[in-house]
Amino acid sequence: MSSDDVTAGRVPVVVETPQHARLADVLDYLSERALAPGTLVRVPLGRREVAGIVWQGVAKASTDVPLRPIAQYLDCVPALPNQWLALLEFAAGYYQRGLGELSLAVLPAELRKLDASQLAQRLKRLHKQLRTTVEPTTAPEEPPLNEEQSAALAAITQASADARPAAPMLLHGVTGSGKTEVYLRATKQSLAQSRQVLMLVPEINLTPQLLGRVTARFPAQRVVAMHSALTPAQRLQTWLLAHLGLADIVLGTRLAVFASMPRLGLIVVDEEHDASYKQQEGARYSARDLAVYRAHLERVPVLLGSATPSLETWQHVLSGRYRRLALDRRIGGAALPRVRVFDMSTLPRPEGPPPALAPALLDALRDRLSRGEQSLVFLNRRGYAPVLHCAACGWKSACAHCSAWRVFHKHDRTLRCHHCGFTERVPRACPECGNLDIQPVGRGTERLEEQLGELLPGARMARFDADATRGKGNLERTLAAVHAGEVDVLVGTQMVTKGHDFRRITLVAAVNPDAALFASDFRAPERQFALLMQAAGRAGRDADATTRSEMWIQTWHPQHALFAALRDHDYARFAASQLEDRRSAGLPPFAHLALLRAEARDAAVATAFLRAAAETAAAMDDSRDVMIYPPVPPSMSRVANIERMQMLVESASRSRLQRFLAAWLPRLHEQRAAHKGLARWAVDIDPQAI
């Protein structure tokens, strides 16, 4: 027994208790042996037996209730490492969730279900499988690093050698500047020291290439992928491989930030600005932020990669907290595409809606066709048309359950709500007045593909969005066709801008990027800039095509600062102007936010809960440090017949906001029962959208 062990007798165990039960989630049990903190156990809870984790330093006040003994010890696997426990304590505290709820939720579901002998069996099977693995192939040759890459790698090497925790590093470079190559070299160094590497990516399914590249580069190492599409059995297996130290590289989406890795030596967060690092339900954690914290805890370097860093990260660079490693040039001297901002208001205006594509853009597409080059046309709206409309009576295809229109999907003749899923056949006639002539209004990718097919006869079209890639193998098939040169024009939503290394695309066009300029969400311009930069990065990746590469922006607002900065590929200028706006408006990263959300069938119930919460706050001392705004409906105020309301809490100090929330939220739990009809409430720390 090590000196850190919890002594036998009364042992604190963290379990998952439903939040509404208002049960503490650290319970005392009786143990007949001394246990390491982090040991997995099964304990009786009420009439059930549930998974639990032995914890240290969180013992709760003793009660007179006789202690129940621990039912099973799952000690055929090592205890969870101390740093893992520390990470979970931090995350539960920071995101205001129960320690038990969060800690058990981030473990594989199978692990929570299996008893000791079942788990031992799984382990045996796992080890047997490992013995039969194939001979390693030889690794592809690695290119000699250029000067910027070498400098970046040297800085990372230095950071790993330092005894003190190093500053987080931002690897700042456009697509094609060689960031991934730097990740691979840093990974290699870490592996050489027998350390494990955690590589976080926004999406794995969309970017199978990165996984391919990592496995090819390290054929003698075990690489596991952790993401939401794994079966429960696969999830347990990858988790165990990481936890047992048998996986050398864990490549995963946001949940992988919680992977237990006893030999962790490096964390990489690719596309660190990507919104999908923020969990959008339950514990709304940011995997990027937790990765930075975890690196600090474990004293390992963390590398955040992006062409368009989040403004939070960029502000840390400007203030000197993070270190910027710059890759300013594309590999092989490839130039960034020339950005052409096309002013839609210069088009002659015939009757009716403006054309999907300006004639000049069509000509540019025809040029590509005649040269056998590929084009990518980008529109961030799927379906055929966002709404159907009856000109006779004004009927529109509203969703009966949400504050949204139902989208017209032509291929299966449905009207579909993208928020609640409510789907119906397209009516033959207007449901209100019987008019037979109901028309699609506006344009989604499905319609754009159809229109482009008509405008460019003979062009081979493909579509890449959530509808076209649904179903097994469709996504891979489309990608393969593009890579094989079997597609001339690819139409897609933002899905298409993520990470794909399309070599033969010389034209990227954003046909309707204006909505983000006037969105109520303060992060909309930041997201749009990142998206367009990333889309531009899909063009001209081959040096010999780069001089002809273009990015077209069709806009009614050509003077907008966002497009001006984009034209010059000038991230720093864009960031400076955004930060200026944020500073004067008191928004992040200069203020810290939490959003209290409430949902009910009746909006008045949700509002009353938020008002009462504000009154409770007003009576608290800590509320001096925060500003609480009145309740408002979010932009999607009704989803599936549930009304939503939200209330913003703002503070100049992160720690004071934390202190206030920690005092305030327990009181809201107590008040909940008084609000009959409240469906649920939750707090979102550092919300992505307000």
| Binding positions for ligand ADP, rule: CB under 6 A | 143-146, 149, 173, 175-181, 331
Residue 112 sits in the site that holds Zn ion (CB under 5 A)? no
- We find the least distance from the C-beta atom of residue 35 to ligand ADP, in angstroms, to be 45
Answer with the entry of ligand ADP, Zn ion, none that 140 interacts with (C-beta below 5 to 8 A by kind). Answer: none
Q: In whole angstroms, what is the distance from residue 595 CA to residue 590 CA?
A: 16
Q: Nearer to ligand ADP by C-beta: 178 or 513?
A: 178
- We find the least distance from the C-beta atom of residue 210 to ligand ADP, in angstroms, to be 9
φ, ψ at 373 (rounded to 5°) = -100, 165
Binds Zn ion by CB under 5 A, chosen from 73, 90, 395, 522: 395
Q: Nearer to ligand ADP by C-beta: 9 or 140?
A: 140
Answer with the entry of ligand ADP, Zn ion, none that 399 interacts with (C-beta below 5 to 8 A by kind). Answer: Zn ion
* DSSP character string of 645-670: EEEEEEES-HHHHHHHHHHHHHHHHH
Q: Check if the beta carbon of residue 364 is closer than 8 Å to that of residue 342.
A: no
Stretch near Zn ion under the rule CB under 5 A, chosen from 36-44, 206-214, 424-432, 489-497: 424-432
Q: Nearer to ligand ADP by C-beta: 273 or 597?
A: 273
Answer with the entry of Zn ion, ligand ADP, none that 395 interacts with (C-beta below 5 to 8 A by kind). Answer: Zn ion
Q: Check if the beta carbon of residue 503 is closer than 8 Å to that of residue 542.
A: yes
Instruction: Give the tokens for residue 477.
Output: 């098939």
Residue 391 sits in the site that holds Zn ion (CB under 5 A)? no
Residue 422 sits in the site that holds Zn ion (CB under 5 A)? yes
- We find the least distance from the C-beta atom of residue 427 to Zn ion, in angstroms, to be 10
Q: Nearer to ligand ADP by C-beta: 173 or 265?
A: 173
Binds Zn ion by CB under 5 A, chosen from 393, 429, 515, 636: 393
- We find the least distance from the C-beta atom of residue 446 to ligand ADP, in angstroms, to be 30
Answer with the entry of Zn ion, ligand ADP, none that 173 interacts with (C-beta below 5 to 8 A by kind). Answer: ligand ADP
Answer with the entry of ligand ADP, Zn ion, none that 514 interacts with (C-beta below 5 to 8 A by kind). Answer: none
Answer with the entry of ligand ADP, Zn ion, none that 461 interacts with (C-beta below 5 to 8 A by kind). Answer: none
φ, ψ at 468 (rounded to 5°) = -70, -20
Q: In whole angstroms, what is the distance from residue 286 CA to residue 129 CA?
A: 35
Pairing of strands 423-425, 414-416: antiparallel
Q: Nearer to ligand ADP by C-beta: 180 or 221?
A: 180
Q: Nearer to Zn ion by C-beta: 393 or 673?
A: 393
DSSP secondary structure letter of residue 91: H
Binds Zn ion by CB under 5 A, chosen from 392, 398, 461, 576: 392
- We find the least distance from the C-beta atom of residue 359 to ligand ADP, in angstroms, to be 33
Residue 77: closest CA among 110, 29, 50: 110
Residue 401 sits in the site that holds Zn ion (CB under 5 A)? yes
Answer with the entry of ligand ADP, Zn ion, none that 392 interacts with (C-beta below 5 to 8 A by kind). Answer: Zn ion
Residue 384: closest CA among 429, 448, 467: 448
Contacts 24+ apart (CB under 8 A), 464-472: 464/490, 464/491, 464/492, 464/493, 464/495, 464/496, 465/382, 465/492, 465/493, 465/495, 465/496, 466/382, 466/493, 466/495, 467/382, 467/383, 467/409, 469/495
Q: Nearer to Zn ion by C-beta: 118 or 635?
A: 635
Residue 572: closest CA among 247, 309, 358: 309
Q: Nearer to ligand ADP by C-beta: 171 or 399?
A: 171
Pairing of strands 9-15, 26-31: antiparallel
Q: In whole angstroms, what is the distance from residue 30 CA to residue 43 CA?
A: 10
DSSP secondary structure letter of residue 365: H
* Beta strand residue intervals within 263-385, DSSP E: 264-269, 302-306, 323-327, 338-343, 374-378
Instruction: Give the tokens for residue 627.
Output: 């500003």
Residue 420 sits in the site that holds Zn ion (CB under 5 A)? yes
Helix (H, G, I), strand (E, B) or coil at 514: coil
Stretch near Zn ion under the rule CB under 5 A, chosen from 52-60, 77-85, 385-393, 559-567: 385-393
Residue 415 sits in the site that holds Zn ion (CB under 5 A)? no
Q: Nearer to ligand ADP by C-beta: 213 or 222?
A: 213
- We find the least distance from the C-beta atom of residue 429 to Zn ion, in angstroms, to be 8
Q: Nearer to ligand ADP by C-beta: 42 or 172?
A: 172
Binds Zn ion by CB under 5 A, chosen from 112, 338, 419, 659: 419
- Whose tokens are 């990516």? That residue is 201
Instruction: Kindly tell me the burial class for residue 637, based on how many C-beta atoms sit within 10 Å of its own C-beta (0-12, 13-18, 19 or more).
Output: middle
Q: Nearer to Zn ion by C-beta: 373 or 467?
A: 467
- We find the least distance from the C-beta atom of residue 467 to Zn ion, in angstroms, to be 17
Stretch near Zn ion under the rule CB under 5 A, chosen from 85-93, 176-184, 295-303, 422-430: 422-430
Interface with Zn ion in residues 529-558 (CB under 5 A): none
Q: In whole angstroms, what is the distance from residue 587 CA to residue 183 CA?
A: 32
- We find the least distance from the C-beta atom of residue 511 to Zn ion, in angstroms, to be 26
My answer on whether omega of the bond before 589 falls inside 30° of 0, hence cis, is yes
Q: Nearer to ligand ADP by C-beta: 146 or 215?
A: 146
Instruction: Kindly tell me the burial class for residue 165, based on how many C-beta atoms sit within 10 Å of its own C-beta (0-12, 13-18, 19 or more).
Output: middle
Residue 238: closest CA among 216, 222, 217, 215: 222
Residue 326 sits in the site that holds Zn ion (CB under 5 A)? no
Q: Check if the beta carbon of residue 27 is closer than 8 Å to that of residue 101.
A: no
Q: Contact residues for Zn ion (CB under 5 A)?
A: 390, 392-393, 395, 399, 401-402, 417, 419-420, 422, 430, 432-433, 435
